[in-house]
Structure 1
């Protein structure tokens, strides 16, 4: 006996065996459309409130968006981000390798550094570096635990800008160490063993074999960390470093247009994070293209 699912009557044309469920229409889900309509309505209301509120003063936003003082603060923010990113991830990579080494002393030192700088808030670190002269009025160079050859005061050694660079770099290194370590651990150990069997040194194996493969696991959290870093640079305004936020504060302290100037800073941060997100997307695609074929 031929099942009714196998063929249909020749009067209506012959069809291959297809379950009845394949011809069924999807069940209507009005809840989805109601939720979508409610979300669109709320978004439209928020956009209308944003554009219609006279307090935002969009004419002031346009005037100051590319003003000289704002652009100077933007360049300072970009410079701080670049220095902290390069120096922090370079130091973080060294710390990650130390943590994974067989030397217990190096591993313990790397763990202690990561634990300390990930535990202390960045603001506290910046304030410590900015007030280094209160902790150590003088620094000296000489024989360890012996006589000092050179002594110099620390009162003018570290200003606000230097404290910002040191604090951001050391904090970023602690975060980057864990990101790089997780990426290295994601690479199959057989890759390292095969490279060592071919006679490659440990340093070359790490540089040519392990790290390129680890980049697929490193890039997503590293991209998020960089976006967090470029926003986190705004905290240096508390030690009078003229970054983007501090530049807007200088302007609205003179004209008292607080909300429009804060909108200027907000729009610039949106632009920067959007560019970094797009760059992260293409970098992930680039390194993802080097995966082995299935």
Structure 2
């Protein structure tokens, strides 16, 4: 492995890493708030909504993300819903990860003692104020470790976009490996993934420390 060869392939790997980061970022931006809203619906007493959301979560968690990507990009155009490659990836990833986050948040909400809701009523707080100011900060503290695991999985799952032809980090490494008949690009890909996951782990530890006063 020469430094010259590494310098030659790094631009394509970094370009692939940029796409990986875009998928990672937009998936979190879309799936975290959606998962929170779905979790509130899962704890709702309105049964039709609860049944519908339970079906959605069951469907997303019960089928592979790879299959969902294929269905969104190749299947939905049959009924007139067309996405470009990047849009299809973001749509599928958001729907998939929102289902997982919804179950995580639901567990967090159910761990909150009912007495806190009653105390909020005594203080004449509205339901929205109770959720926003009392419940959600505690839920976030509870779910951070589980959310962290899903965030790390997201970094790695982003490689699945190869199935719809997007040039992410792993695809760039595979192209260089096939062309040059060497494993050096894949070693560099592994190093970049490890760096990305290391950064995510560091940030998650900081967030967990930030919420450590909720005990």
Give the TM-score category using the shorter length.
over 0.9
Q: Partner of 1:95 in structure 2?
A: 38
Q: 1:112 to 1:60 in 2, by over 3 A?
A: farther
Q: Partner of 2:209 in structure 1?
A: 285
Q: Gapped runs of 5+ residues in structure 1? A: 1-56, 139-153
Q: Is the 8 A contact 2:141 2:214 kept in 1?
A: no
Which structure: greater helix fraction?
Answer: 2
- Cα deviation, 1:193-242, whole Å, max 9, x if unaligned, reads 11122111111111111000111211000001000011100011121111
Q: Within the alignment, does 1:249 sit opposite 2:174 as a pair?
A: yes
Q: 2:94 aligns with which of 140, 151, 169?
A: 169
Q: In 2, distance between residues paired with 1:92 and 1:290? A: 22
Q: Within the alignment, does 1:228 sit opposite 2:172 as a pair?
A: no
Q: Gapped runs of 5+ residues in structure 2? A: none
- 3-state SS of paired residue (2:189): helix
Mean Cα deviation higher: 91-100 or 247-256: 247-256
Length-normalised TM-score, structure 1: 0.69
Deviation, structure 1 residue 59: 4.0
Deviation, structure 1 residue 62: 3.8
- Cα deviation, 1:6-43, whole Å, max 9, x if unaligned, reads xxxxxxxxxxxxxxxxxxxxxxxxxxxxxxxxxxxxxx
Q: In 2, distance between residues paired with 1:58 and 1:184? A: 53
Q: In 2, distance between residues paired with 1:61 and 1:171? A: 38
Q: Within the alignment, does 1:128 sit opposite 2:71 as a pair?
A: yes
Q: Partner of 1:267 in structure 2?
A: 191
Q: In 1, distance between residues paired with 2:57 and 2:76? A: 25
Mapping for residues 51-62 of structure 1, pairs under 5 Å: 57=1, 59=3, 62=6
Q: Is the 8 A contact 2:27 2:94 kept in 1?
A: yes
Q: Partner of 2:20 in structure 1?
A: 77
Report how many aligned residue pairs link the two structures: 215
Higher relative contact order (CA 8 A, sep 6+): 2
- Cα deviation, 1:138-178, whole Å, max 9, x if unaligned, reads 3xxxxxxxxxxxxxxx5xx3122111111111000110000
- 3-state SS of paired residue (2:71): helix
Q: 1:128 to 1:204 in 2, by over 3 A?
A: same
Deviation, structure 1 residue 132: 2.7
Mapping for residues 30-45 of structure 1, pairs under 5 Å: none
For the aligned residue pairs, the C-alpha RMSD in angstroms reads 1.7
- Cα deviation, 1:237-280, whole Å, max 9, x if unaligned, reads 121111111122232333232x1111111000100111111111
Q: Within the alignment, does 1:182 sit opposite 2:125 as a pair?
A: no
Q: In 2, distance between residues paired with 1:220 and 1:176? A: 12
Q: Which has the larger radius of gyration?
A: 1
Mapping for residues 94-173 of structure 1, pairs under 5 Å: 94-133=37-76, 135-136=78-79, 138=80, 154=81, 157-173=82-98
Give runs of ≥4 in structure 1 deviating > 2 Å.
Answer: 57-65, 132-135, 249-257
